[in-house]
């Protein structure tokens, strides 16, 4: 029994005059990423400004900001706008 080594999946061919570059992220993705990076930076800045290990910001506020920022960053990377089906 011979097994074919050729793949059945064919790459899409572009039109001869079409030289558009397809960007992996949209404008919304970049905005969300910038906001999440700003939130993460703000959390680290708040921890540095408080300068206490047992302070309220270092123990309660900043960790929640960091978790939210990193989760939001993962969401921003995976986010795709729903396309209208007509």
DSSP string, 38-63: HHHHHHHHHHHHH--SSSHIIIIIHH
**Full residue range of the structural domain in which residue 37 is found:** 27-78
In a domain, residue 71? The reply is yes
Please give the Cα distance from 58 to 52 (Å, whole number): 7
The verdict on residue 73 lying in a domain is yes
Q: Are 79 and 31 in contact (CB under 8 A)?
A: no
Sequential pLDDT tens for the chain (86 residues): 566 565 566 555 555 566 788 888 999 999 999 999 999 999 999 999 998 889 999 999 999 999 999 999 999 999 988 887 76
Residue 40 lies in a domain: yes
Q: Is the dihedral of CA 44, 47, 53, 58 positive or negative?
A: negative
Total domains in the chain come to: 1
Q: Give the global pTM.
A: 0.70
- Listed residue (70, 66, 23) closest to 47, CA to CA: 66
Q: In this structure, is residue 9 part of a structural domain?
A: no
């Amino acid at each position: 029994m011979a097994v074919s080594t050729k793949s059945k999946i064919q790459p899409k061919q572009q039109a001869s005059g079409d030289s558009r570059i397809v960007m992996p992220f949209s404008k919304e993705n970049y905005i969300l990423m910038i906001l999440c990076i700003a939130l993460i930076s703000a959390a680290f800045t708040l921890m540095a400004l408080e300068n206490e290990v047992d302070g309220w910001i270092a123990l309660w506020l900043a960790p929640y900001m960091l978790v939210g920022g990193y989760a939001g960053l993962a969401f921003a990377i995976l986010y795709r706008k729903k396309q209208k089906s007509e």
